[in-house]
Every structure is written in C-alpha cells, then in structure tokens.
C-alpha cells in the first residue's frame, strides 16, 4: 500500500510547452508522469501517490490536465466534460505532484487539429473503439504528444481504462518510445462502483442500478475461483463414475451432488462460465426501475482485446463491460487468470 505523500508546497502550474521545458529537472532523478483529463478524484490521486513513491523523494512527478477534443465524437460530450482546474491542482498537490501541466487546446494543437495523427489499428475497432469511432486515434495522438513534451522515465495509467492502457503499451512498443508504462489497479468506492468523473452525473436511483457493473464482474471472479477450487479437488480426489449414482441410491443427496460435480469438473468451458455469471447479474439490472442498457460484455485477451473462445481455460483475460444508466455511459473491467485461483 502506498503512503500518501506530503508535498513541500503547492504544485507548480504550467500552461505552455515553454514553461514545461523550463521546469528544472533534478540531475539523475526520475520523472514520473500521470496523464489526466482533469476532474480529478481519488482514483487519480492514487495514481499520483504511486508515481510519487516510484519517483522517490528526489524525483519529479508531473500531472497533465488536458481535455482532448480529438477523442470526443460529439461536441455535446466535449462541452459536458467537467473542468475543475483549481480543485485538480489541490488534489494533485496533496497526492505529491510537483507540477501540473494544463495547456490550452491552442497550445497542444497550434493552428487547429493536427493533420498527422497516430492510427490505433485493429485493436481500436473493438469494444470501446466500436462504440466510439476515432476515439483511440485521438487518445494516442495526444498521449504521444504529451510523452514528447513531458519526457518522462515512467508514465502511469489506471487499469480501469484497460483498452486504452493496452493501446498505449502497444504504441510505446511499436514506435520505440523510451518510456516505461505502469498500470495501477482500479480504485472503487465502498459500494464497489469504479471511480469515474462521470459518476457525478448519476442520480441515487441510477447509481443503484450502476452497481450491477461491478457486481457482475465480482460474480464472474467468484464463480471462476469456485471453479478452480472444484478442479483442484477433482485432481486431488479422483471420483469414480459410479460413485455419484451409488451415493444417490443411499440417499446421500448432497454427497452425490458433490461427487457428480467433482467428476464433471474437468471439461467445464471456463470462459463460458465466467461470461454467464456476469450476464446473470446484468440481465437482472436490465429489469430495474432505472434499467441498465448493456453496450457490451466481453472476455478478451489482454494483449489485443480479441474475444476469447468459450472453452479457453488458461492464461490471462480481461472481463470488460460497458453500459448506459440514464444518460450516463459507464465502463468497468477486471483482470482474471483463467488457469489459476485468483
């Protein structure tokens, strides 16, 4: 667990690339960067604290705050996005940031939208990319620019935006960016809802429905853990095919059911079981007074976000979900290991 930083003073506010370039960089120290679109919450603060811990007391932590117009499909969504720079400065400083780089759109894109952009490739056509065409091209373009401007040794991103994280890692690898990309776990409220700047738009009833996203993910995780435990028992205690029938004849119903489950543990389609556990929770929420409208539920390969087949029973996976509750669209995900107990 990271320890909250105690900054020496307020974070320096930088508004231009020239001011950022002039920011003194301690010799031999690491610079860590946390990129945000502002409206900072505890999830962002946790990222900054992690960056502070990694950079060390003599390192430097820079937080970027920039609402990137290239990744918004509709002008209304861009206009609706909250801008809270004064509060963001306070959150960043309290979490241990040395500087906040908050440029204007004109500073980042002088002369208008850039003619040359990063193309995200096939991964950007899936899930979030299918729902928001062009979003990931715009995201990678601004991340590339901000990496060049801030020149960090290490950049930190949240696991909540898992597809974004995977694409940034791919860009850094494919285009030889000299920076280390580090992920931090999703931060959740006490009720399980993943922290997001969009949560502020939820009414009390909408928030109650929205909790189905995390409940679905946790149900899938718990079902997977139970399946792993069952398989471990099946390996340790092989069950003869006739044992269940024999126990049933003796009236040992619970023992018979357990024996039958052990006997059948091997051929279970793990990926299908995981998906079904989550779908059950989401289907119930679809019938709530304020319904959850599912966009997608997907169990994907973390490397390229392709769907995993139902019979996949080993390796890493990400279970991702997106849905609308009222006018608010929410996403969430959870990493899973299909071949070992979580």
Rounded to 10 degrees, the C-alpha dihedral 18/154/174/108 comes to -20
**Residues 6 or more apart in contact with residue 15 via CB below 8 angstroms:** 101, 102, 103, 104, 107
Residue 208 in tokens: 């109650």
| Gap between the Cα atoms of 29 and 32, Å rounded | 10
| Gap between the Cα atoms of 342 and 340, Å rounded | 6
* Active-site annotation holds for 148: no
SS3 annotation, 150-219? HCCCEEEEECCCHHHHHHHHHHHHHCCCCCEEEEECCCECCCCCECCHHHHHCCHHHHHHHHHHHHHHHH
| Gap between the Cα atoms of 176 and 290, Å rounded | 47
| Gap between the Cα atoms of 138 and 324, Å rounded | 23
**Residues 6 or more apart in contact with residue 287 via CB below 8 angstroms:** none
Which residue in the list 44, 58, 148, 228 is annotated as catalytic? Answer: 44
Q: What is the secondary structure of 91-142 as a DSSP string?
A: HHHHHT-SEEE---HHHHSTTSS-SS-----GGGGSTHHHHSTTHHHHHHHH
| Gap between the Cα atoms of 323 and 213, Å rounded | 8
Residue located via tokens 């809802």:
193
Residue 188 in tokens: 């959740």
**Residues 6 or more apart in contact with residue 250 via CB below 8 angstroms:** none
Which residues are known to be catalytic?
Answer: 44
């Amino acid at each position: 667990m990271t320890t909250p930083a105690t900054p020496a003073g307020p974070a320096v506010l930088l508004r231009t690339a020239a001011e950022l370039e002039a920011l003194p960089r301690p010799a031999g120290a690491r610079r860590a960067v946390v990129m945000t679109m502002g409206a900072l919450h505890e999830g962002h603060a946790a990222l900054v604290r992690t960056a502070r811990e990694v950079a060390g007391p003599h390192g430097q932590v820079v937080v970027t705050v920039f609402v990137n117009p290239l990744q918004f499909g509709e002008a209304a969504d861009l206009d609706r996005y909250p801008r809270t720079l004064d509060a963001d400065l306070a959150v960043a400083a309290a979490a241990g940031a040395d500087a906040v780089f908050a440029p204007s759109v004109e500073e980042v894109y002088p002369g208008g939208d850039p003619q040359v952009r990063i193309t995200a490739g096939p991964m950007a056509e899936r899930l979030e990319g299918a729902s928001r065409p062009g979003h990931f091209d715009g995201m990678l373009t601004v991340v590339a620019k901000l990496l060049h401007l801030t020149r960090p040794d290490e950049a930190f991103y949240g696991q909540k935006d898992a597809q974004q994280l995977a694409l940034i890692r791919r860009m850094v690898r494919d285009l030889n960016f000299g920076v280390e990309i580090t992920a931090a776990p999703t931060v959740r409220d006490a009720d399980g809802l993943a922290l997001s700047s969009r949560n502020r738009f939820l009414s009390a009833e909408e928030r109650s429905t929205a909790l189905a996203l995390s409940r679905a993910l946790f149900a899938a995780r718990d079902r997977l853990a139970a399946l792993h435990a069952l398989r471990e028992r099946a390996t340790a205690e092989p069950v003869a095919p006739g044992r269940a029938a024999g126990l049933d004849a003796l009236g040992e119903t619970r023992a018979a059911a357990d024996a039958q489950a052990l006997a059948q543990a091997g051929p279970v389609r793990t990926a299908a079981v995981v998906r079904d556990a989550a779908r059950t929770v989401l289907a119930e929420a679809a019938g709530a007074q304020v319904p959850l409208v599912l966009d997608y539920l997907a169990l994907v390969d973390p490397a390229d976000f392709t769907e995993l087949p139902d019979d996949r029973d080993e390796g890493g996976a990400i279970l991702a979900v997106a849905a609308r509750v009222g006018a608010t669209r929410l996403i969430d995900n959870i990493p899973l290991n299909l071949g070992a107990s979580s």
